[in-house]
Amino acid sequence: MTGARARWAAMLGVAAAVSAALAATGWLAPASSKHPAADEPGGCTILQAENQRAGAPTTLRLLDLPGGTTKRLSQAGFWINAMGYSAEQDVVYGVADGTRLGRYDHGAHAVRIDAAGTVTDLGVIGRAGARRPVWSQVAGATAGAIAGNRWYVRQNSDLYTVDIDPASADYVRVVHRTALRPVTLAAAVDDFAYDPPSGLLYGVSTTTRGDGSVVTLDPATGKVAAVPDLRFPHGGAYGSLVLAPDAIYATANRDGLRSITYRLPRDGSGPAVEVATGPPLVSGDAAGCYVAATPPPTSSPSPSPTPTTPTTPPTSAPTPTPEPPPPSQPPPVEQPVALAPTPAPTPTPVVTPTPGSPKPTVPKAVPHARPAEKPQPVAEDAGERTKEKRRWGLTALILVLGSGGAVAHGRRHR
């Protein structure tokens, strides 16, 4: 196993280890229990490119099938489509029509994606033998697949062959063009995958004539033919497609407010069933089918898959951590109740006790005490009270004088 293959295997081991934790929270969540496809054989892990808005950077994810769990690798600074996986080089090639700043002046560029999700711009995909690229023939391509050192890219009704041999003078250059016929089947094949036993490309045609049918494309002749009894649900574009040993996995970019990934048995033994859902996509693509195998050996046995440390290159990016996408509805969170501020009462004068005096007793607050009645004004009866005091004083004086006279009179008659 090469160092690059070890990195892909490590990525698969990590994806398998986190599948259970992400199953309940990922955007690409497993389908409901009425779809038993998650327990069926023929699964694989794919690299999926998601474009949720036109011109936005592409998000790269590893999608485990048929389980439907996902793990984000990176957000590329490119608009990527028409990807293909090179088993010999252990990398993915894709067509980039531009960056965050806009479209390229000369059309599409080739990009290379490694196991860590790092994207490298390889320059314009020009025509072989041309000294200077005028305009890339594969600008706007939507479907891609790789067989050996040949990268097949569909643009409109033409199939272009791009050389991806790094030692070739025509590296990432178009070396052949084949017209696809009939156009009524070929024009809306938005992704395909290469089948080594037959040498054909498998895709889904969503034209009026195709109507979700699985079709084969012959790279040598350009012939497009429908496969009997293999059909996906009617809908929009199927932007992602991969071949597993026993099944075809295809993702419909938009079905209402979501994208849907289906699993269709290759032998026609059953209909396509939903295995995963995600956010609606403007465009998408998929590459490879990395069949889950025995985890790489480690220094000590472990009950769960443990990724090995990549040996090459030494500066490779670390494996990113799984990222659960946002749920459709945020879970309820308890928050403290915010009360309106209560007006502060008028402060009551406090008498400061002198040293040595007993500490005043503070009466306990009585809950729900009724407020004291407002005292009545006293200024109006001040004069009446003064007169009353004078009358009482005069009466007391008369009584004193009277008692004194009576005592003196008694003394004289004793």
DSSP string, 236-299: S-EEEEEE-SSEEEEEES-SSSSEEEEEEETTSSS--EEEEEE---SEEEEEEEE---PPPP-S
Residue 134 lies in a domain: yes
Residue 323 lies in a domain: no
Write the pLDDT tens digit of every residue in 178-201. 999 999 999 999 999 999 999 999
Q: Which of 60, 34, 83, 45 is nearest to 275 (CA)?
A: 34
Residue 271 lies in a domain: yes
DSSP string, 116-164: T--EEEEEE--BTT-SS-SS-TTTT--EEEEETTEEEEEETTEEEEEE-
Task: Give the angle 231-236-242 at the CA atoms, nearest 5°.
Answer: 55
| pLDDT of res. 289 | 84
CATH number at residue 221: 2.120.10
Q: How far apart are CA 252 and CA 307, in angstroms?
A: 32
| Cβ-based neighbour number of residue 129 at 10 Å | 10
Peptide bond into 30 cis (omega under 30): no
Which of 354-388 are b and which e, b meaning 16 or more Cβ less than 10 Å from the residue's Cβ?
Answer: eeeeeeeeeeeeeeeeeeeeeeeeeeeeeeeeeee
Q: Identify any residues that bridge with 64 across adjacent strands, giving them in sequence order.
A: 45, 69
Q: How far apart are CA 108 and CA 53, in angstroms?
A: 18
Q: Higher pLDDT residue, 113 or 25?
A: 113
- What six digits make up the tokens of 228? 């009997």
Q: How far apart are CA 157 and CA 92, in angstroms?
A: 24
Q: Higher pLDDT residue, 366 or 227?
A: 227
| pLDDT of res. 81 | 97
Measured CA to CA in angstroms, residue 115 lies from 7, 110, 146, 253, 350 at distances of 6, 17, 17, 24, 77
Cβ pair 93, 83 in contact under 8 A: yes
Q: 């500066």: which residue's tokens?
A: 315
Average pLDDT score over residue span 328-333: 34
| pLDDT of res. 236 | 85
Residue 296 lies in a domain: no
| pLDDT of res. 132 | 79
Cβ pair 251, 221 in contact under 8 A: no
pLDDT band at residue 401, thresholds of 50, 70 and 90?
low
Write the pLDDT tens digit of every residue in 217-241. 999 999 999 999 999 998 789 999 9
Task: Give the angle 173-157-85 at the CA atoms, nearest 5°.
Answer: 50
β-pairing, 109-113 with 91-99?
A: antiparallel
Peptide bond into 182 cis (omega under 30): yes
| pLDDT of res. 32 | 36
**What whole-number percentage of the chain has pLDDT above 90?**
51
Write the pLDDT tens digit of every residue in 71-123. 999 999 999 999 999 999 999 999 999 998 999 988 999 999 998 999 999 99
| Cβ-based neighbour number of residue 85 at 10 Å | 24
Report the Cα–Cα distance between both ends of the chain, in Å, rounded: 151
Average pLDDT score over residue span 35-48: 62
Residue 223 lies in a domain: yes
263 has pLDDT over 50? yes
| pLDDT of res. 394 | 52
Q: Higher pLDDT residue, 27 or 267?
A: 267
Residue 143 lies in a domain: yes
Which residues form the domain of 151? 3-290
As for how many domains the chain has, the answer is 1
Residue 202 lies in a domain: yes
Residue 128 lies in a domain: yes
| pLDDT of res. 235 | 73
pLDDT band at residue 44, thresholds of 50, 70 and 90?
confident
Q: How far apart are CA 58 and CA 284, in angstroms?
A: 9
| pLDDT of res. 163 | 98
pLDDT band at residue 402, thresholds of 50, 70 and 90?
low
338 has pLDDT over 50? no
Q: How far apart are CA 44 and CA 23, in angstroms?
A: 16
